[in-house]
């Protein structure tokens, strides 16, 4: 149900308010341009700075506007277990296809704490859950053993792996098998990730290059030699964009790129700020190299 190129949707703001009109346009932009799945209100969607009401509204709009055309895995994680349960049960109630739940940031739970956090959410909901493991931002790293234990629960179906450690794909595949969904959270390693057994990405770059990303994902899993070569060609085109998206803290660079493409404003919420002129030039050059802008 959830593979290929899935966009970690940005949340557009205007005058520091949720820009609903632009957000709806973004959703339809992805439906038209080959994106395989939508991930609203994740960390790329600036979930830590969304109010509870805004968080729910962003997910509601995405489910309503996608209208079954694309699967929606809502970002419902929090470092508060009760808040994560509340957001996840709300996402289930309004018709989301699943939930992407980030490992609790700042608290630094033990592996047992991680297990109990996800188990508590699992026990309160009835939709599929993807674990989001991103130690670079949440400080903690969920072990393969803890993940395997969670996989025994009814709703845990896979992981968005943003560890950057490709050996994790092999370890996870060996421990849980092919049915456990592995999606990379690192656009730049997507080719090798898929070669090792991954089935796609939850992508920042897909916000601004949905067709390139979806074509790349499709060809990267092909058995055809010609299509595998095409995946490698597209990977080379995409690499400068991937790298430019993280010159400064995500999602500031991708929002600036989206502004250049006329998709949305580059406003972000504090403590994030708009990118520097130096970063703007790097982003421009990356988009030009891929012929996304002149």
Domains of the chain by residue range: 4-227
Beta-carbon count within 10 A of 291 CB: 9
Q: Are 63 and 93 in contact (CB under 8 A)?
A: no
Measuring CA to CA, which residue among 196, 118, 184 is closest to residue 151?
A: 118
Q: Which H or E run contains 216?
A: helix 210-220
d(CA 228, CA 221): 8
Alpha-carbon 107 to chain mean position: 22
d(CA 250, CA 45): 9
Tokens of 228: 């595998």
Give me the CATH topology for the region 4-227: TIM Barrel (3.20.20)
Q: Are 120 and 93 in contact (CB under 8 A)?
A: no
List the chain pLDDT tens, one digit each, 294 residues.
789 999 999 999 999 999 999 999 999 999 999 999 999 999 999 999 999 999 999 999 999 999 999 999 999 999 999 999 999 999 999 999 999 999 999 999 999 999 999 999 999 999 999 999 999 999 999 999 999 999 999 999 999 999 999 999 999 999 999 999 999 999 999 999 999 999 999 999 999 999 999 999 999 999 999 999 999 999 999 999 999 999 999 999 999 999 999 999 999 999 999 999 999 999 999 999 999 999
pTM of the model: 0.97
Helix (H, G, I), strand (E, B) or coil at 55: helix
CA distances from 244 to 64, 158, 167, 211, 285 (A): 32, 28, 25, 18, 9
Q: Are 34 and 210 in contact (CB under 8 A)?
A: yes
Q: What is the pLDDT of residue 163?
A: 98
Which residue numbers are catalytic? 132, 160
d(CA 30, CA 4): 13
Q: Are 73 and 97 in contact (CB under 8 A)?
A: yes
Helix (H, G, I), strand (E, B) or coil at 140: coil
Q: Are 88 and 132 in contact (CB under 8 A)?
A: no
């Amino acid at each position: 149900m959830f593979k290929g190129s899935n966009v970690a949707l940005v949340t557009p703001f205007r005058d520091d308010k949720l820009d609903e009109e632009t957000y709806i346009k973004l959703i339809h932009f992805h439906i038209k341009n080959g994106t395989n799945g939508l991930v609203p209100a994740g960390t790329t969607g600036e979930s830590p700075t969304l109010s509870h009401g805004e968080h729910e509204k962003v997910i509601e709009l995405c489910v309503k506007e996608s209208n079954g055309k694309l699967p929606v895995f809502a970002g419902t994680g929090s470092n508060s277990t009760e808040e994560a349960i509340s957001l996840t049960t709300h996402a289930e109630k309004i018709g989301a296809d699943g939930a992407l739940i980030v490992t609790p940031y700042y608290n630094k739970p033990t592996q047992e704490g991680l297990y109990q956090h996800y188990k508590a959410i699992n026990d309160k909901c009835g939709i599929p859950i993807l674990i989001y493991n991103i130690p670079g931002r949440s400080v903690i790293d969920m072990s393969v053993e803890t993940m395997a234990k969670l996989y025994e629960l009814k709703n845990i179906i896979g992981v968005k792996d943003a560890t950057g450690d490709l050996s994790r794909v092999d370890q996870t595949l060996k421990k849980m098998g092919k049915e456990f969904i592995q999606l990379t959270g690192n656009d730049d390693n997507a080719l090798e990730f898929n070669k090792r057994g991954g089935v796609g990405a939850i992508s920042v770059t897909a916000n601004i290059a949905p067709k390139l990303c979806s074509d790349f994902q499709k060809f990267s899993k092909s058995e055809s030699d010609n299509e595998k070569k095409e995946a490698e060609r597209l990977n080379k085109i995409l690499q400068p964009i991937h790298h430019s998206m993280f010159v400064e803290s995500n999602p500031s660079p991708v929002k600036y790129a989206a502004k250049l493409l006329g998709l949305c404003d580059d406003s972000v919420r504090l403590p994030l700020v708009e990118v520097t002129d130096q970063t703007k030039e790097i982003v421009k050059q990356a988009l030009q190299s891929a012929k996304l802008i002149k």
